[in-house]
Amino acid sequence: MIEAKDINHTFLLGKKQNETALQVLTNISFSVAKGDILAITGKSGSGKSALLNIIAGFMKPTSGSVWVKEKNVTNFSEGEFADFRLDNIGFIFQNFQLIPSMTAYENIELPLVLKGLPEKERKERTEQTLEKVGLSNYHQHYPSELSGGQQQRVSIARTLVIEPPIILADEPTGSLDSETEQEVLDLITGLNKDLGITFLMITHDEEVARIASKKIHIHDGEIVKEEVSA
């Protein structure tokens, strides 16, 4: 589902006349099979966030290529990648990224509005997705009226509603307490098992990484260890 081939990335720091090159990723190669959960681990500053942004199409690598669903997406324009993401890739963020002026229902429905689906289909899919994440009774609540765990469930539901084959998760439990973290991890593993969704998540937390079928550890922009769960 995802393949990174020889990814290198360099940030240029300073003014043009006196730029300094900072190598943040070096020869990164890995693949994620359909239905896998891949955890990319490493300390803050290790390069894992830059790698996720490249996989998501928010940044282009200095060299190397990214393949998603057998398409070379490396040189997609911003518009092409935006359209591709809307049909193929969902996101879970550490800080939820909910729109505070919208209810849980409206936050979840938003991607369907962007896709131009008719109101009847939007309503049916949004209500089904609310039920999947256990929030049917909270559909008219605003984010400020929800707990952190409930907000993350809304974030996951907003991703699920477009029925993506791939979900990219950026520290998906980083803002949650340990009990709520476990609830969200159980939800992720359930979605992976029941719906066959492929997950790629970055985390510094080994407790989060343990749900993965494959782990890659990055240090100073290089892969230093790979593990496959038995």
For the segment 130-180, what is each residue's pLDDT rounded down to a tens digit? 998 889 999 999 999 999 889 988 999 999 998 899 999 988 888 788 888
Distance CA 54, CA 14 (A): 22
Structural domain that includes position 39: 2-228
Count of domains in the chain?
1
The CATH number covering residue 118 comes to 3.40.50.300
The model's pLDDT over 30-40, given as tens digits with 9 standing for 90+, comes to 999 999 999 99
- What pLDDT score was predicted for residue 76? 92
The model's pLDDT over 70-83, given as tens digits with 9 standing for 90+, comes to 999 999 999 999 88
Sheet-wide strand order for 37-41 = 89-92, 166-170, 198-203, 37-41, 214-219, 222-228
- What pLDDT score was predicted for residue 122? 95
